[in-house]
Amino acid sequence: METISQTYELKATPAAVFDALINPETIQQWSGAPATMDSQAGTEFSLFGGQIEGTNLEVVANKKLVQQWPHQSKVTITLTDNGSTTTAELKHEDIPEAEVDSFRQGWIDYYFGPMQKMFGG
């Protein structure tokens, strides 16, 4: 099993970035696809019209989101306030080796890249 670590700079407050991670309407704005999500630990979510489903394990408003993803992989997103920007640190653990490249590029192409564009970056 493999781990991906990536860092993204977003031109938004931690509250706005957190909203983009947990609010289904905002997720649909940057992803272009239906989402089911909320800010409660223990709840199930669905992203990209059901292409990714999992469970929120830990939710700390405006600071951290930990999720169980397909194949029992674990995603941790930690937000740091930089004043005019927010740093999002991504750690995606326990990825099957055959899928690492796909997930690595997927975070850029389908998740944080579109989110950066939504925030004007």
| Domain at 7, CATH number | 3.30.530.20
Nearest Cα neighbor of 28 from 47, 8, 9, 51 is 47
The model's pLDDT over 34-43, given as tens digits with 9 standing for 90+, comes to 999 999 999 9
Question: 62-119 pLDDT, tens per residue?
Answer: 999 999 998 889 999 999 999 999 999 999 999 999 999 999 999 999 999 999 999 9
Decide: residue 84, CB within 10 A, 0-12 exposed, 13-18 middle, 19+ buried.
Answer: exposed
- Answer whether 71's CB lies under 8 Å from 53's CB: no
DSSP sequence for 85-114 = -EEEEEEEEEE-GGGHHHHHHHIIIIIIHH
Q: Please determine, for residue 121, whether its predicted confidence score (pLDDT) is greater than 90.
A: no
Half-sphere CA count of 15, side-chain side, radius 13 A: 1
Report pLDDT digits (tens) over 11-46. Answer: 999 999 999 999 999 999 999 999 999 999 999 999
H or E element that contains 115: helix 113-118
Q: Provide the domain limits for residue 22.
A: 2-118
Split into its structural domains, the chain has a count of 1
Q: The pTM is what? A: 0.95
Which residue type sits at 75?
A: V
